[in-house]
Amino acid sequence: MIFCKWLFPDFVVFEDSVILEMKFDEPAFRVWLDHFSGDKAGVERMLNHTHLYDVFSGCGSAVDEVVFEQLSNVLAMSWRMVLKAQFPDRSFHVEAINSDQEYGPVVTFHEMRATVSMSMTSG
């Protein structure tokens, strides 16, 4: 039952950023916003960064690594669908990361925002 909250999560929209409700913390948001110099996509990536080992910490070593990798792909697919349904006018990058540089499989997402380039005009 608790895994359903991970498959079909609720979100918080705070300062135009979309964060998993279960991971939202306003002071942490502000710290990361400062750390990333106002880059909200960076804040979203960091706060939505979910280690599957932590989600399933009660399973211990009884579960094969391949199962966690498969779950990360399922979770990422589910988040894509839920984000699309709840925020149809926004575009998100959802990724399942299976890297030796992480503590097991990770799923995260951030909104893909248009980048604004400043151009100099001569007068």
> Any bridge partners for residue 50, and if so which?
107
Sequence-distant (≥ 6) Cβ neighbours of residue 28 within 8 angstroms? 47
| Distance between CA atoms of residues 62 and 77, nearest Å | 25
**10-residue stretch averages of pLDDT, the chain, 123 residues long:** 81 97 96 97 96 72 77 94 97 90 85 68 48
Helices 26-35 and 40-48: angle between axes, nearest 10 degrees: 130
Q: Where are the beta strands (DSSP E) in the chain?
A: 11-14, 17-20, 50-51, 92-97, 106-111
What pLDDT was estimated at residue 42? Answer: 96
The CA-to-CA distance between both ends of the chain, in Å, stands at: 64
- C-alpha separations of 51 from 54, 62, 63, 89, 105 in Å: 5, 17, 15, 28, 6
What pLDDT was estimated at residue 122? Answer: 47
What pLDDT was estimated at residue 44? Answer: 98
From the CB of residue 70, how many other CB atoms can be counted at a distance below 10 Å? 14
What pLDDT was estimated at residue 51? Answer: 87
